[in-house]
A and B are shown apart, each in its own frame.
Chain A
Amino acid sequence: MHIENHLDVINACRFCFMCRHLDPVGNVTFREADTPRGRALVADRIRMDRAELANADFIDAFYRSALSAANRFHCVSHYDETGLALAARRDIVEAGLAPERVKALARALEKAVFAVTGKGQTLYFGGTPALYPGCKVITGGDPGKALEILGFADAAKNVLARFSKAVAASKCKTLVVAEPSSYDFLKDRLPGVKVVHCAEFLLPSAVKTRRTRKAVYLESDILRNYCGNPSAPRQLLQKAGFTLVPFGTNDEESHAVGEGAVVYDALNPELSDKLCARVYALAADVGKALFITASASVRDTLRKHNPKFDIATLEEALSS
């Protein structure tokens, strides 16, 4: 089983409570099964008795996780608890035990087809092509990350292969990626192609084009906790004339409403609603500041559960 490759995590986390205050799902459901300790205990029970892999409650525990890496970032030893959850999902899928809602989502994601349009030496993959004149644009959906986090490793590879083929056909050697999850997925998987996040690409040429406005930069779970916390998004916003105001009570919690799990809102809409409610409650403290996120999926999720919530992506904030 894949979880057996994470024995260090199981042994470290199964009796450890030290990061539970940072699990975004645990913080809104209050359930022990929604903490890294709870999931490690479940994984350990499955490790001891493989028949338990079929336990629907245990399967649900892994698919409820928002895969926030805030816990791993906080841990002094950085045990990869999200890696354990992903391994468990792979075991579940490979045993043919994935819940129907997961399988349905996977079937839709497997259909992704990629196309390249436009002219230029640089390829852009995101939702705001107007910001990238002179770049080619690749479209077609998730490049495989979502399938991978659902546990469908082989299907993810197939989609990635199609994405890679389209990139290769474009002959571009630089790929600018907007969505953090896609950036995280692609950054080390396209040989011969430099993959950069859009904030890093836009930063050198950014200029102040608007009067100063207060904004909350809703930290990206993926950029902060999976990708080494690049400073480019914050620098970019400041350069463009935004005064960033603090949000929440601390800088450790993730308020990225399931960004780490990529398709969280589609998978667990009720839990997603609870994650959003926590953000809305905290937002009352910062008045009418615009919320800015690096992720279009975070924007969509927060808007879906409260259409009046004033939120834009980084690129939308720059172009508005």
Chain B
Amino acid sequence: MTPKNYLFEMIRSELAWAVGDDHVQTNEADRLGHSIDYYWVPECWHDRGQKPTPPDFVVHPGSAREVAEVLKIANTHKIPVIPWGGGSGSQGGALPIYGGIVLDMKRMNKVLEIDPVSMTVTAEVGINTQHLEWQVEKAGYSTMHFPASIACATLGGFIAHRGTGVLSTKYGKIEDMIMSLEVVTPTGEIINTLPVPRHASGPALTELYLGSEGTLGVVTKAVMKIHPVPESRKFHAFLFKTMHDAMTAGARIMTSRLRPCVIRLYDEPETAKLIKRVLGIDRKGAYLVFGFDGPEKIVDLELEEACKICRAQEHEDLGTEAGQTWWDHRYKFFYPPYMFHLPQAFGTLDTVATFANIEKVYWAMKNVVQDNFPQATFIGHFSHWYDWGCMLYARFIIDEPPQDPGEAVALYNRIWDMAIRAAIREGGVINEHHGVGLKLGRIMRDLYGPAFKVLEDIKRTLDPNNIMNPGKMGFPGKGA
């Protein structure tokens, strides 16, 4: 479709009627902005002078009803609809790979209610999560949702990709924080899931939409838990001779059922590279930091118990200051020039597994990358710890990938294919909080096995015209 085509103007007019003329963009600057998200492939494409596919229309709906109208128009014309929050997803989930309508949700940005009795906030999901946190803080509470992308992403983006924040070990991932959702189905009905997340009234419909990446409908409103601001939050850091020693200590903290709000463990290469560069802590070994929050007396007790566990291993005690420094600079890792950047090739192979498997996953991925791609550096850290395991935030970096964009992307995909399949063989699940998007769609059949057909059947039933974000999550592309 081109702006010169009269069908283009017919559809634009319909969309403008639905949401208002001011909220339908077709200009090139906006379309360029929506042709690239935080996925390395379109970034590389642009960097090498190519033009990633832009949407035909960028639509900013102002209500669930307007979303419903847009979806009905899209069904009539069988045009793809790609929901877009902050655009900071790393998996290509928001890319308009077939053109169509990008449904930019940021106009739906209101906090509708803060319920101090039940400790919940109700908000439209286009709200930027830093803005949401600021508004909740003004009322005297906190969402306790502090992802690195807090300033970039929207609440809907986190819901779509099962995102998480740095305090997930105590406060949970987004799926633990959400109470209920309002959703517009692909055919334009507005529905609400049950108001509480614990019940025995059939399968959890809320769960169906958490992580659905805009393929099963458009989430428009969410009720989310909020928390009192803790009286105290304290950190402590240790350095261990090996990653295995640090992992043993971290796992013991979790399996002893202490309740840290955060644990993070950096392998030896990442400690040498990033901890030195960002925090200025120049040591050999594996850096482990953890924190507790809540009433100060409880924090002190739990912190001391966790320190005792660490001191049982061979260690260097870096103290509270090195822990606090990490917390104070926790977002700095993600700003340029500290973050990896083009022309480098880089990817995050985030994987979650049980404590029994997580180190096997780490070594399987590392060996595959090092043995097959000598030009790549493999580093990793372990974040988002649970009672039963944790997440490996593994990364590969190639400083000088091929100049040709096709060759660069092919190399990038080969690394993913081999590393991820190695992780799956060792019991890893891809992935923990970035989502699937375009990047990992081809892995979904391997990951789910025969169960993927269940997801495909749900998709086909809910979205008969396959308008919702086609080609993502391993679901069929446009025209398939």
Contacts and interface: CB of A to CB of B under 8 A. Distances in A.
A249 B335 contact: no
B33 A37 contact: yes
A31 B38 contact: no
A60 B341 contact: no
Nearest to B150: A21
Interface stretch (B126-134, B214-222, B312-320, B445-453): B126-134
Given A37-B33, A57-B27, A76-B332, A30 B337 contact: no
B29 A249 contact: no
Interface string A26-43: 000011110101100110
Given A15-B342, A249-B131, A41 B46 contact: yes
Interface string A130-156: 000000000000000000000000000
A18 interface: yes
Interface in B444-474: none
Residue in A14, A17, A55, A61 with the greatest tally of chain B CB atoms within 10 Å: A17
Given A18-B334, A75-B335, A41 B32 contact: yes
B335 to A, nearest CB: 4
B149 A21 contact: no
B28 interface: yes
A60 B29 contact: yes
A77 B336 contact: yes
Residue in A12, A19, A21, A77 with the greatest tally of chain B CB atoms within 10 Å: A21
Contact of A41 (B36, B58, B335): B36
Nearest to A14: B46
B335 A42 contact: no
Contacts of B131: 21, 249
Interface in B293-336: 331-332, 334-336
Contacts of B58: 31-32
A250 B134 contact: yes
A30 B137 contact: no
A168 interface: no
Residue in B33, B43, B337 with the greatest tally of chain A CB atoms within 10 Å: B33
B87 interface: yes
Contacts of B336: 11-13, 16, 77, 79
- At the interface, is chain A mostly helix, strand, loop or mixed? helix
Contact of A61 (B29, B107, B109, B151): B29
Given A30-B106, A33-B27, A42 B32 contact: yes
Contact of B135 (A38, A48, A249): A249
A20 B151 contact: yes
A55 to B, nearest CB: 6
Interface in A108-137: none
Interface residues of B, number: 44
B152 interface: yes
Contacts of A79: 336
Nearest to B135: A249
Given A21-B128, A32-B34, A249 B28 contact: no
A57 B26 CA distance: 10
B33 A31 contact: yes
Contacts of B151: 17-22
B335 A60 contact: no
Contact of A11 (B128, B138, B341): B341
A44 interface: yes
A276 B107 CA distance: 17
B335 A38 contact: no
Contacts of B153: 17
A18 B28 contact: no
B27 A60 contact: yes
A105 B107 CA distance: 31
Contact of B33 (A13, A18, A32): A32
A217 interface: no
A18 B152 contact: yes
A22 B109 CA distance: 14
Interface in B1-59: 25, 27-30, 32-34, 36, 38, 43, 46, 49, 58
Contact of A249 (B27, B33, B36, B134): B134
Nearest to B149: A17
B152 A17 contact: yes
A58 interface: yes
Given A17-B86, A32-B87, A249-B138, A55 B335 contact: no
B88 interface: yes
A42 B29 contact: yes
Contacts of A165: none
Contact of A38 (B33, B337, B342): B33
A219 to B, nearest CB: 15
B88 A11 contact: no
Contacts of A60: 27, 29
Residue in A22, A33, A42 with the greatest tally of chain B CB atoms within 10 Å: A33
A79 B336 CA distance: 9
A44 B25 CA distance: 21
A208 interface: no
Interface in A49-76: 55, 57-58, 60-61, 75-76
A32 B335 contact: no
Interface string B52-86: 00000010100000000000000000000000001
B342 A58 contact: no
Contacts of B268: none
Interface in B133-160: 134-135, 137-138, 149, 151-153
Give the top 9 A-B pairs by smallest Cβ distance, nearest first: A32-B33, A17-B152, A33-B29, A249-B134, A30-B106, A12-B336, A57-B27, A61-B29, A38-B33
17 contacts: A12-B336, A16-B335, A17-B86, A17-B88, A18-B151, A20-B151, A30-B104, A32-B30, A32-B33, A32-B87, A38-B29, A48-B49, A57-B28, A75-B335, A76-B332, A76-B338, A77-B338
Interface of B: 25, 27-30, 32-34, 36, 38, 43, 46, 49, 58, 60, 86-88, 104, 106-107, 109, 126, 128, 130-131, 134-135, 137-138, 149, 151-153, 331-332, 334-339, 341-342
Interface of A: 11-22, 30-33, 35, 37-38, 41-42, 44-45, 48, 55, 57-58, 60-61, 75-77, 79, 249-250
Given A32-B33, A249-B135, 14 more contacts: A13-B336, A14-B46, A16-B336, A21-B131, A21-B151, A30-B104, A32-B30, A33-B29, A41-B33, A58-B28, A75-B335, A79-B336, A249-B134, A249-B138
